[in-house]
Amino acid sequence: MRRILLAAMLCLLPVLAHAEKSLELWTFIDPAGDSPRSKALAQIISAFEQQNPDVKIKPTIFAWNQINLAFMKAAQAGKVPDVTMLNSGRIQRVVAANFLKPLDDYLDKTGQRSDYILMPNAIGADKKIYGVPYEVRALGFLYRSDLVEKTGMGKPRNLTELVASAKKMQELQGPTFVGVGIGFDPKQDSAEKFYIPAVVALGGKLLKPDGSADFVSPQAIRVMNYIHDLVQKDKVMPLDVGLTGPDQVRTLDEAGRVGYYFQGSHWLLTLRGKIPQGAKMDFMPVPLLDSDGVQPVFVEGWNLGIPAAAKEPDLAWKLVSYWTSPDVQIMQAKVAGYLPMRKSAAAKVDPNAPDTAHIKPLLEVIGSNAMNFKWPLNTDALQESLGVAITNVMADKQKPEEALREAEKSYNSMRAY
């Protein structure tokens, strides 16, 4: 009997040795989808599984604007995945709650820490790194370069020229064409991304050292007036477009009906494939308001975090490490249009190929002129209070100063939550 048992155990040994490990990944991108980003993720998962035949990645998909909250709830309950995507504008809350594992030891082991572009919000109060972006993106204008050529005015060097260029495009394209498309819906993740860099570029501040609002300043009023004039005076942006969110403006852009669309650089390749035939699209950072030049660029990126209670943290890092390796970053840039988050990747891409030509100049801008803004704990409060102020000013419901004073009150009452 004992022999039989021993033989059975010996037979089972190889099976046990090859038992599949499962790595749960929380993502807002469905690897089974047909978007370029889905295809890039599917490629990464498939290649990783091939390299690690005993590992199976199990993706769980969430809506992009819900994944941070879902993770917070799950972490509180101790039911966490092995790796999760986290929005860079909101990761600070997860970090402060101690739900993530510091990645410093892993990063140090790679010996290439300085090659990573990291997000300030993923760095905790203890100066440790709690998330590594798997992509970076610069925010700016995706513009119709074919129409810029048609207007004969050249690429705008400041925001005043941008309005003139948008007006000219509207004249050429007809009444349904939208010169400038910026979605300021307070409930969506957008208003603050145009507004904050514009104020910072003029030398203004948003928050006091104690974290409370410092919204009312000559610079802020200047930017508010500019946004107001886009709608009410220059009429390059219809009010209903300004009141919607970036996703809604994108549907107009896909139809070739927007001249300058404010969005992240990661949309460039996707939109190039969607705009009408003959139309051309390029990306430019937001120019300065008062003089020629470029504003500090708003940089963001989705992070990969390993939960503090992850079951397989080392294996999880293996996936993160593979995902953020320069070669995979270049593949991602080509397939999905992201910017690589490894500085060394810029040197490896073809600067003349249409799918990679934008990478090097944008990484240079990010390297030299990124906006250094550390988000407060409650990003939603900042986004909503500023968004409400902007939309009220746009719709001529309030004067800029009055709207900003109200936004200050609103933000100060919400920021602690």
Q: Does 240 bind another protein (CB under 8 A)?
A: no
- Among 22, 46, 51, 76, the residue binding another protein under the rule CB under 8 A is 76
3-state DSSP assignment of residue 285: strand
Q: Least separation, in Å, of the C-beta of 218 and another protein?
A: 37
Q: Please report how close the Cβ of residue 21 comes to another protein at its closest, in angstroms.
A: 18
Q: Please state, in angstroms and as integers, the Cα–Cα distance from residue 219 to each residue in 12, 203, 206, 281, 400, following that order.
A: 72, 7, 10, 31, 11
CA–CA distance, 6 with 253 (Å, rounded to integer): 68
Burial bucket for residue 116 (CB in 10 Å: 0-12, 13-18, 19+): middle
Inter-residue contact 251 to 244 (CB < 8 Å): no
Span of 89-97, 108-116, 118-126, 244-252 interacting with another protein by CB under 8 A: 244-252
Residue 72 or 153 with smaller CB distance to another protein = 72
Site for another protein in 19-58 (CB under 8 A): 28-30, 33, 35, 37
Shortest distance (Å) from residue 76 CB to another protein: 6
Residue 247 binding another protein, by CB under 8 A: yes
Instruction: By CB under 8 A, tell whether 74 contacts another protein.
Output: yes
Contact status: 60 vs another protein (CB under 8 A): yes
In contact, 236 and 163? CB cutoff 8 Å: yes
What is the rounded distance in angstroms from the CA atom of residue 151 to the CA atom of residue 142? 17
Q: Minimum Å distance from CB 73 to another protein?
A: 7
Closest CA to 119 of 396, 393, 366: 366
Neighbours of 228 (CB within 10 A): 22
CA neighbours within 13 Å on the CB side: how many for 261?
32
Taking a C-beta distance cutoff of 8 angstroms, is the pair 390, 191 a contact? yes
Stretch that binds another protein, among 66-74, 140-148, 214-222, 389-397 (CB under 8 A): 66-74
CB of 244 to another protein, least distance (A): 12
Q: Can you tell me the distance from the alpha carbon of 188 to that of 246, in angstroms, rounded to the nearest whole number?
A: 8
Give burial (CB, 10 Å; 0-12/13-18/19+) of 343: middle
Which residues 190-209 are close enough to bind another protein by CB under 8 A? none
**Dihedral over alpha carbons 252, 254, 259, 260 (to 10 degrees):** 90
Q: Which is nearer to another protein, 151 or 270 (CB)?
A: 270
Direct distance between the N- and C-terminal alpha carbons of the chain, in angstroms, rounded to an integer: 66
Note whether 99 binds another protein by CB under 8 A.
no
Answer yes or no whether residue 214 interacts with another protein by CB under 8 A: no
Binders of another protein among 139-168, rule CB under 8 A? none
Stretch near another protein under the rule CB under 8 A, chosen from 136-144, 230-238, 253-261, 399-407: 253-261
124 vs 238, which CB is nearer to another protein? 238
Q: By CB under 8 A, is residue 109 in contact with another protein?
A: no
Pick one of 21, 46, 56, 79: the residue that binds another protein (CB under 8 A). 79
Size of interface with another protein, in residues (CB under 8 A): 28
Residue closer to another protein by CB (options 65, 212) is 65
Among 394, 398, 396, which residue's Cα sits nearest to residue 191? 394
Radius of gyration of the chain (CA): 23
Choosing from 21, 56, 73, 233, the residue that interacts with another protein (CB under 8 A) is 73
368 binds another protein (CB under 8 A): no
- Say whether residue 184 binds another protein (CB under 8 A): no
Out of 104, 161, 254, 406, the residue judged to bind another protein by CB under 8 A: 254
Q: Half-sphere exposure of 126 toward its Cβ, with a 13 Å CA cutoff? A: 12
Please, what's the largest Cα pairwise distance for the chain?
Answer: 93
Choice between 230 and 249, CB closer to another protein: 249
Q: Does 251 bind another protein (CB under 8 A)?
A: yes
Q: Choose one: 69-77, 141-149, 228-236, 392-400; the region binding another protein (CB under 8 A).
A: 69-77
List of residues contacting another protein (CB under 8 A): 28-30, 33, 35, 37, 60-66, 70, 73-74, 76-79, 247, 250-252, 254-255, 257, 270
